[in-house]
Amino acid sequence: MEKKKSNFSGGLGFVMAAAGSAVGVGNLWRFPYLVAKDGGGLFLIIYLALVVTFGFTLLASDIAIGRKTKQSSIKAYGTMKKGWGFLGILTFLVPVIIMTYYAVIGGWITRYAVVYFTGESKAAAQDDFFTGFITSPVMPVVFGLLFMAVTAVIVYCGVESGIERVSKALMPFLLLLIVAIAIFSLTLEHKAEDGTVRTGIQGLMVYLKPDVSGLTVSGFMSVLLDAMSQLFFSLSVSMGIMITYGSYVKPEVDLNRSINFIEIFDTLVAFLAGMMIIPAVYVFSGVEGMGAGPGLMFVSLPKVFARMGVAGTFVGAAFFIMAIFATLTSCISVLETIVANCMEIFHAGRKKVTLVLTVIYLAASAIIALGYSLFYVEVPLPNGSVGQLLDIMDYISNSFMMPFIAMLSTILIGWVVGPKWIIDEMERNGEHFGRKKVYIVMIKFIAPIMMFVLFLQSTGLLTKLFG
Ligand code: PFF
């Protein structure tokens, strides 16, 4: 039985851990893809405007709920308001689902890091390398389980000596690596077969210049919805993670400063990821080279690295090490949230709960890792795509549950307990809650509507209803 509730040692430990959770594959493979797809600078401007209004509102809410109730989601919502415990259970289910596949993705990234360290970078650039790897029934399982085991060891060590220590060590290093690769990306130059020379700086322009050609109202709406769903996935909100991390923050820490830092860190890394990936892909493959998700990271980028020659092996190694750091600190936050909730439900100690959950998730990760071989399925999803096990889990948690949970929690805060409940926590030590007015307008009016529209869109209902 754990007598004393765990804490982060101070503000810095908290922001590093929270930034560690926020910065993940979403920043690396989803943000750059969306920028390239949604009009470059246009997406950037919309995203930035949303970070400081909408993202800030959700992040402040989650963290304040955690610190004020000193509980994880499953108990926190019921403590906030009697009768709302169901929202806690729903929120708890999101990391429970995400955990089944997050370590599998971490395993893929680890495999690629090994590829670059063992000098197989040419092989990784072959067209069928990625498919060959994930459809094998052995390698993805081995690497997935390894990633899961490392995550479990860190969570087992506890909040301060495990999570905080690892985050403080890895996050600055991650930032350094990504800055270095981004700068390198800008120096690239390549002469295509038709004689045209493309440079990294031209690629940077493609990234930054707002492209509004042919933009329609519905086009703008879809950019807005993309930016919104990216934002709350990226900030790890509406999945109980920031509630749990918030519950470990000491009362004297200034939440306003911490939240600013987390927002800036997460957005900066996303921006740098774009600055690193878009010019590199542009120089070697033109804009058509930009794929989404796993395709970008595991197929397009290895090709780009191969074209860089010897330097590519080093850049590839640096990139995948950086990606391991990003994924590991996110994976830790998912497992920690499940552990913290279970400790509260079962009144059990950290070590016992972590051990039991590790066994369960080693099994779950193995099953998901086999989703492209032994357990291959093709399931049509409501948003029109066809998914394997991993995509199904991702769809249920991110597209279906998260907007729904965010909508209910904004209604709970905005209309049931009232924004003052959160504001009081933000001003606990007499701090100045700078964006108080923005917060009130967002939480009461704009966020619930935006979340409702996003929910309709990601479930495919929006197109069904409005064509
Ligand atoms: N915020 C992380 C990212 O942007 O990649 C993603 C993430 C972390 C999602 C943790 C879910 C999660 F539980």
Which pLDDT does position 292 carry in this prediction?
Answer: 63
pLDDT recorded at residue 350 = 97
Q: 239 CB under 6 A from ligand 1?
A: yes
Question: Would you give the DSSP letter of residue 384?
Answer: S
Binned at pLDDT 50, 70 and 90, residue 3 comes out as very low
**Nearest-5° angle of CA 101, CA 31, CA 57?**
90
Distance 315 CA to ligand 1 centre (A): 24
β-bridge pairing 379-380 and 386-387? antiparallel
What is the distance in A from the centroid of ligand 1 to the CA of 284? Answer: 29
And the tokens for 179?
Answer: 């800055």
Is the CB–ligand 1 distance for residue 25 below 6 Å?
yes
Six-digit token string for 12: 């810095």
CA of 134 to the centre of ligand 1 (A): 21
Relative to the CA of 337, which ligand 1 atom is closest? 13
CA distance 240 to 244: 6
pLDDT at 457: 85
Give the pLDDT of residue 426. Answer: 98
- Report CA(237)–ligand 1 centroid distance (Å): 9
CA distance 350 to 339: 7
E-assigned strand segments in 55-206: 189-191, 197-199
* b/e 310-343 (16+ beta carbons within 10 angstroms → b): eebbebbbbbbbbbbbbbbbbbbbbbbbbbbbbb
Tell me whether residue 432 is exposed, middle or buried, using C-beta atoms within 10 angstroms of its C-beta: 0 to 12, 13 to 18, 19 or more: exposed
State the Cα–Cα distance between residues 350 and 344, nearest whole angstrom. 10
Write the CB contacts of 309 (distance below 8 Å, at least 6 apart in sequence). none
Atom of ligand 1 nearest to the CA of 31: 4
Q: Rounded to the nearest whole angstrom, what is the distance from the C-alpha of residue 22 to the centroid of ligand 1?
A: 6
Q: What is the DSSP string of 306-339?
A: HHTTHHHHHHHHHHHHHHHHHHHHHHHHHHHHHH
The protein residue whose alpha carbon is closest to atom 7 in ligand 1 is 236
H or E element in which residue 387 lies: strand 386-387
Q: Is 401 in the pocket of ligand 1 (CB under 6 A)?
A: no
CA atoms within 13 A on the CB side of 127: 0
Report long-range pairs for 285-288 (Cβ below 8 Å, ≥24 apart).
286/192, 286/198, 287/36, 287/206
- Give the C-alpha distances (Å, rounded to integers) separating 83 from 90, 98, 377, 412, 427: 13, 26, 39, 11, 27
Mutate to test the pocket of ligand 1, among 92, 232, 236 (most ligand atoms within 8 A of CB): 236
For 214-225, letters b (16+ CB in 10 Å) and e give eeeeeeeeebbb
Candidates 404, 405, 335; CA nearest to 91 is 405
Atom of ligand 1 nearest to the CA of 397: 11
Distance CA 32, CA 25 (A): 11
Contact indicator for 160, 9 with CB cutoff of 8 Å = yes
Per residue in 152-191, is it b (16+ CB within 10 Å) or e — as a string? Answer: bebbbbbbbebbbbbbbebbeebbebbeebbebbbebebe
Residue 20: CB within 6 Å of ligand 1?
no
Please give the distance, rounded to the nearest whole angstrom, from the Cα atom of residue 325 to the centre of ligand 1.
13
CA–CA distance, 24 with 233 (Å, rounded to integer):
10
Residue 289 predicted with pLDDT over 70:
no
Domains annotated for the chain, with CATH where assigned, are 11-466 (1.10.4160)
Q: Which of 324, 305, 328 is nearest to 116 (CA)?
A: 305
Q: Give yes or no for residue 103 CB within 6 A of ligand 1.
A: no
Averaged pLDDT score across all residues of the chain: 93
Longest Cα–Cα distance of the chain, Å, equals 70
- Residue 34 Cβ contacting ligand 1 at under 6 Å: no
Q: What is the pLDDT of residues 392-449, one digit of tens each?
A: 998 888 888 999 999 999 999 999 999 999 999 999 999 999 999 999 999 999 999 9
Confidence at residue 2, expressed as pLDDT on a 0 to 100 scale: 44
In this structure, are residues 390 and 101 in contact, taking their beta carbons and an 8 Å threshold? yes
Res. 383 pLDDT band, cuts 50 70 90 = confident
Single-letter residue type at 100: T
Q: What is the pLDDT of residue 131?
A: 94
CA 20 to ligand 1 center in whole angstroms: 9
Q: Is the CB of 95 under 6 A from ligand 1?
A: yes
Query: Per-residue pLDDT tens for 224-276?
Result: 988 998 998 899 999 999 999 999 999 999 999 999 999 999 999 999 999 99
Q: Which H/E stretch holds residue 380?
A: strand 379-380
Q: In this prediction, what percent of the chain has a pLDDT beyond 90?
A: 79
Q: Residue 53: count other Cβ atoms within 10 Å of its Cβ.
A: 16
- For ligand 1, say whether the CB of 270 is within 6 Å of any of its atoms: no
Question: Is it the case that residue 290 has pLDDT exceeding 80?
Answer: no
pLDDT computed for residue 467 by the predictor: 62
Secondary structure E strands in 81-211: 189-191, 197-199
Number of residues assigned to the chain:
467
Find the mean pLDDT for residues 109-125.
94
Q: Which atom of ligand 1 is nearest to the CA of 333?
A: 10
In this model, does residue 291 exceed pLDDT 90? no
Asked whether 155 and 338 are in contact (CB, 8 A), the reply is: no
Is pLDDT above 50 for 188? yes
Whether residue 316 contacts residue 116, with contact meaning beta carbons closer than 8 Å, is answered with: yes
For ligand 1, whether the C-beta of 334 sits within 6 Å is yes
Amino acid symbol at 137? P
The pLDDT assigned to 37 comes to 86
Q: Is 333's C-beta closer than 6 angstroms to any atom of ligand 1? A: yes
What is the per-residue pLDDT for 270? 97
